[in-house]
Structure formats: C-alpha cells, structure tokens
Amino acid sequence: MTIQPSTTLRKARHVNRKHWALVAAATVLPLAASTGTAVAAPSDATPAPSAACTYTPAVPADNFKGIPVFDARKAAQPYRATLRTNQGAITFEALTDKAPCTTFSFRFLAEHDYFDRTHCHRLTTQRIYVLQCGDPTGTGSGGPGYSFPDENLTGATYPAGTVAMANAGPNTNGSQFFFVWKDTKLSPAYTPFGRITAGLDVLQKIAAAGEDDQNNPGDGFPNVPVNIRQVKISKR
C-alpha cells in the first residue's frame, strides 16, 4: 500500500503489521457531513436518546469488551480522562455536550480497561502534527468490535490540544483516536471529542524525539515508545 502525505487521517483497512500504518489520500476521503450533535438536557429533565448514538457490530474485534448501549443520562455527565503513560500523564476534558456518542464510547472502553497496556502507534511531524493511539494491536488496523457515527464536524478545527477520532471513512469510528500536539489543518472529517487540560508538554516532548519515517517522511512509529499504562475517568 502506498502511503501518501495528506491532510487526512484514516485507519488502514488493510495493513502490513510491521509498519503500524495509518493511511490515506485526500482524494479518497470526501468531507463527511455532521450527523448532528446532541445537547445535554437540563438536570431536571431526562435526556432523549440521540438517534446518532447507535453502536453497530463491526470487525475487527480486538480485545473485545462488548458493545455499549447508549445511556443518554450518563452520556451527558461531564468527565475528565487521564492517560497515565510511561512518558507522563495526559488529561483531557470530554466534550460530552458536543460529541455524546463518542465520549460515551471512550468512557465505556476506558472503564473496561480497553486502552490499558497498549501503545500509541503513530506520530506525525510534518504537515499534520498528531500522536495516534487506541489500537490494542498496535498496528493501525485494530478496532473494538463496533463502529458509530461521526459527530461535531460542523466547523471542526484541530488546534493543539484537540483530541479527535481516527476513522476509515465517514461514520466508521471505533477505538482509535489522536492527540493534536501542534496546530493542524485537517478537513472537518474527524470527530473532535476532547480538549487537553494537562500534558500537552508531554506530547510535545514525545514529538521532539521524532519518529522513524517508516510510513513516509515525517510519519512513523514514535522514536520514544508511548505506553498507556492506565486510563482513569473522573468527574469534572
């Protein structure tokens, strides 16, 4: 598979596992329209389920933890996620009001230890500036056994500190996500679902060490291994 530099991020549908590749050309990924965002209801009301929050069985099913059942009340609860890595802790606030389906899935996986003892498999240092994680196989082709629709895409931008979903095309979100460590221009095709509140310096330290260019110049496996030891969810 030819890996082309691009302003898009996608999970590889098929990948040589030696290369942890995550690829795509801009010409094959059209802009994805937003599926709509659900807004948390006032605390004295029962939130209505969002039609967008449907988790559909999908392959692969690596380290399978089950398929979440969307709970609108729980999805509306704000939370912080702290990723404890061997390079330092990274904390972000989940955008539960803007991407409830995505943040509910991330919390489900984190609470089932899905991300624990995994590593971040891709770092980019040219054109786009991201660290990609969330694949228990460490190859760029892994997934949780389900997919769900895009959210929060209207007017989406990707400044430093953004946490967003990687995908294999519109409405194919799974477990893979990326941290933006430097302001990055991407098409609004990747659901932003978090904002880093601590640990951006950790990401910048990882980025400063570079990557091995195995996918393309400026795109490869981090030179400094990034191992996620635990993801802890706490109330905001």
Q: Does residue 224 surpass a pLDDT of 50?
A: yes
Rounded Cα–Cα distance for residues 50 and 36 (Å): 9
Q: What is the pLDDT of residues 211-220, one digit of tens each?
A: 999 999 999 9
Q: What is the pLDDT of residues 131-189, one digit of tens each?
A: 999 999 999 999 999 999 999 999 999 999 999 999 999 999 999 999 999 999 999 99
Residues shown for the chain: 236
Apex 25 CA angle, 206 and 102, nearest 5? 60
Give helix then strand counts, H and E, for the chain.
3, 12
Backbone angles phi, psi at 106, to 5 degrees: -60, -45
131 Cβ contact list (under 8 Å, min separation 6): 120, 122, 123, 178, 179, 181, 203, 206, 207, 222, 226
Rounded Cα–Cα distance for residues 160 and 181 (Å): 5
What Å distances lie between residue 40 and 18, 36, 143, CA to CA? 43, 13, 28
CB 140 within 8 A of CB 219: no
Q: Which two tokens stand for residue 181?
A: 């460590």
Confidence of residue 52 (pLDDT cuts 50, 70, 90): low
Q: What's the whole-number average pLDDT of the chain?
A: 83
